[in-house]
Amino acid sequence: MQHGIYYAYWEREWSGDYLHYIEKVADLGFDILEIAAGPLPEYTPAQLSELRECAQAHGIRLTVGYGPAPENNIASADPKVREHALAFYEDLFQRMEKIGATLIGGALYSCWPIDYSKPVDKKGDWERGIEGVARLGRIGMDWGIETIGMEVLNRFENHVLNTAREGAAFVQSVRQLESRATNIKVMLDTFHMNIEEQSIGNAIRTAGDLLGHFHTGECNRMVPGQGRTPWREIHDALADIGYDGTVVMEPFVIPGGTVGRDIRIWRDLVENISEEALDKDAEEALRFQRYMLG
Ligand SMILES: [Mn+2]
């Protein structure tokens, strides 16, 4: 099991100095830094190399998270948007290869956050999503992308995949359509499961062999260990399915900026939001997570 953290814990925007965060998380003892895909298309070849070299030098694995912008919605009802999305991902996967990243996760079957002021077409989005994601899987294979995680999200953030059962059914349908797309996997997140699942343990067991990436956090998105998430139940279920993959904590505790707006953070979730205090909380959460889940 490899343990990581999402850089946005420390940031108010969906970008940041990833070199700084590689160094930081290495110092804190993490195996993985998860970065946002958003800024990568703007990176020069030299910047991509620098990122790869920095991660290698610090023994840090990079994974990528992405909340697709509406123009990169692979399931859009507009065929032009779907083509644009595929071209975006093809470029992104090449950039991931250059930084040595083989795993990406998020609402890649759709966009995020959903604009619920417009009508929702779950059936259409589901069907177009399966087609788009099947193509995404094949493109990913060309660039060595081993895991493309379909993150199951709560109802307030997306409408396509809300439960592990839906996530597993979606991934199975993708693989039926494109048998080579074995890199398409289910991705679960304890924060979303807390809202939607009758049993978090059974949700993990439902994903079973299809589980490819795992996000952790408390019910209010504080770091693991500071809330009431059933970590022992989660451990037992992960052990039952023999999960030995990536476990990345995704805490959000600071209000403000685009991150605060998108995640709906309207208060300081912790008493002390200094960088030093956040680092200490992350370090303790890592120790907790290694102990509870490892
Ligand atoms: Mn997540």
Strand partners, 106: 66, 150
DSSP codes of every residue in 146-165: -EEEEE---TTT-SS--SHH
Both structure tokens of 251: 């805490």
Both structure tokens of 59: 């023994």
CB hemisphere CA count around 49 (13 angstroms): 3
Both structure tokens of 180: 């080579």
From the CA of 94, how far away is ligand 1's center (Å)?
A: 23
Per-residue pLDDT reduced to its tens digit, 8-17: 999 999 999 9
* Catalytic pick among 178, 196, 218, 250: 250
Mean pLDDT score, 55-61 = 98
* Band (294; pLDDT cuts 50, 70, 90): confident
CB hemisphere CA count around 118 (13 angstroms): 9
Where in the sequence is the domain holding 195, given as residue range(s)?
2-293
Per-residue pLDDT reduced to its tens digit, 130-170: 999 999 999 999 999 999 999 999 999 999 999 999 999 99
Mean pLDDT score, 268-287 = 97
Record the pTM: 0.98
* Catalytic pick among 11, 34, 151, 196: 151
From the CA of 224, how far away is ligand 1's center (Å)?
A: 13
From the CA of 107, how far away is ligand 1's center (Å)?
A: 9
From the CA of 140, how far away is ligand 1's center (Å)?
A: 21
Whichever domain contains 260, its CATH number is: 3.20.20.150
**Domain count within the chain:** 1
Residue 131 is a catalytic residue: no
Does residue 221 come out as left (phi exceeding 0), alpha (psi in the -120 to 50 range) or beta? left
From the CA of 221, how far away is ligand 1's center (Å)?
A: 10
Mean pLDDT score, 58-70 = 97
Residue 250 is a catalytic residue: yes
Q: What confidence score (pLDDT) does residue 39 get?
A: 96
What 3-state DSSP class applies to 181? coil
Mean pLDDT score, 236-247 = 98
DSSP state of 53: H
Cα four-point dihedral sign 280, 11, 188, 134:
negative
Q: What confidence score (pLDDT) does residue 243 get?
A: 98
Tokens 């032009």 locate to 80
From the CA of 189, how far away is ligand 1's center (Å)?
A: 5
Q: What confidence score (pLDDT) does residue 259 get?
A: 96
Both structure tokens of 124: 């259409």
Both structure tokens of 217: 């956090």
